[in-house]
Amino acid sequence: MLGDVTGERRLTSFSHGAGCACKLGPNDLTEVLGLVGAPAPSAEVLVAADTGDDAAVYLLPEGRALVATLDFFTPIVDDPRDWGRVAAANALSDVYAMGGRPVLALNIAAWPVDELPLELLAEVLRGGEEVAAAAGAVVVGGHTITDPEPKYGMVALGFADPARIVRNSTAPPDAALFLTKPIGTGIVATAIKRGVAEPALVRAAVELMTTLNAGAAEAMLEAGAEAATDVTGFGLLGHLHRMLRASGVAARLDAGAVPVLGGVLELARRGVVPGGTERNLAYVRPSLDEEGMPEPELLVLADAQTSGGLLIATSAPERLAEALERRGVPYARVGETIAGEPGRIAVEGRPGS
């Protein structure tokens, strides 16, 4: 195990927050972006920061669309290669969420060179290259700095058909909502950091987080889905809220249909919850209509995910279901968009029920 390799400390003990839970909360991010302001994009910019979408999209002279994104975070697991694999899958997911195909990646790494051997950093990078290769993308370099807290991620670039870009801001009313991965990885990561995670749950979470969203992206394009986003640091509730607000619609969420990793709800009831998840719930709570749902259940729905699934809005649910099944992509139909106050979410049922 990594604790034996380092001689003293587990990799997750170096991080203040695990995975995407270490990111700025949605309220803080909104405040910062408001202070900075957004420059008027050129006509070639098809998707910018105004809708809080997963990636930027730029129209190239030959007619293809360039999808550009980046993502990095602190250690989420103690195995360095698994951390690299998770971080790469997470960064590439933003390209898939836009309906793109990853082709190129650059590493971003920060490393405590006086406390952790460089061989471990090499393992992290190998893990990232492994997943990038599985996605058909080439890692062509990157940038590293020394830092007391290790961090790793990627710039991910891909191509897409400009006429088939899938945005988070185009969900119509009366569209079915599909989710392609269970939630709960933020809580699992916190359990790992605290040393209370069961090995089987860790293995299940790593398997989930290293699974690419390639098949889900292909299926949503084939089915002509109207909108999508990937579920990462803002949690299911946060990303759904942002999609709804950008699209000008509301939603009903069937919490009982939301897939949750086994054991996660029990951990939430024990208070094993990342700070990022708590910030997510505080952000979205004013937009929730829920009938006295207990706090642990709400926290699971708001859990800060790393390399989560795609949340897809479609007016052709049977067609999307068939496309997902044909590719062997698990999914759950978790609700529907409705006309109403933009961003409002009516939560029905309870997760894990």
pLDDT of 333 = 98
Task: For residue 169, tell me if it sits in a domain.
Answer: no
Show the beta-strand stretches assigned E in 180-287: 227-230, 250-254
Task: For residue 268, tell me if it sits in a domain.
Answer: yes
> Do 190 and 144 share a structural domain?
no
User: Which structural domain, as residue segments, surrounds residue 335?
Assistant: 176-348
> Do 221 and 95 share a structural domain?
no
pLDDT of 182 = 98
Instruction: Tell which of 114, 132, 164 closes a domain.
Output: 164
Which tens digit of pLDDT belongs to each residue from 211-264? 999 999 999 999 999 999 999 999 999 999 999 999 999 999 999 999 999 999
> Do 261 and 113 share a structural domain?
no
Task: For residue 7, tell me if it sits in a domain.
Answer: yes
> Do 53 and 137 share a structural domain?
yes
Instruction: Print burial letters for 158-174: b (CB count within 10 Å at least 16), e (below 16).
Output: bebeeeebbbbbbbebe
Task: For residue 108, tell me if it sits in a domain.
Answer: yes
> Do 220 and 269 share a structural domain?
yes
CATH classification of the domain holding 208: 3.90.650.10
* Closest C-alpha to 95, from 138, 176, 155: 155
pLDDT of 10 = 81
Instruction: Tell which of 164, 195, 221 closes a domain.
Output: 164
Q: Which two tokens stand for residue 100?
A: 């793109």
> Do 331 and 259 share a structural domain?
yes
Catalytic residue set: 20
| Number of residues that this document lists for the chain | 353
Instruction: Tell which of 115, 134, 164 closes a domain.
Output: 164
DSSP 257-301: GS-B-TTHHHHHHTT---HHHHHHHHHHGGGEEESS--HHHHHHH
pLDDT of 12 = 81
Angstrom distance (rounded) from CA 180 to CA 331: 4
pLDDT of 1 = 36
pLDDT of 33 = 64
> Do 322 and 180 share a structural domain?
yes
Q: Which residues of the chain register pLDDT less than 70?
A: 1-8, 16-26, 29-30, 33, 36-40, 353
> Do 237 and 128 share a structural domain?
no
CATH classification of the domain holding 24: 3.30.1330.10
Residues 6+ apart with CB under 8 A from 173: 249, 337, 338, 339
> Do 242 and 190 share a structural domain?
yes
Task: For residue 228, tell me if it sits in a domain.
Answer: yes
Angstrom distance (rounded) from CA 85 to CA 74: 13
Domain count, the chain: 2
> Do 312 and 210 share a structural domain?
yes
Task: For residue 353, tell me if it sits in a domain.
Answer: no
pLDDT of 23 = 64
pLDDT of 214 = 98
Q: Tell the residue number behind the tokens 């919490």, with chain if given.
A: 255
> Do 287 and 323 share a structural domain?
yes
> Do 151 and 191 share a structural domain?
no
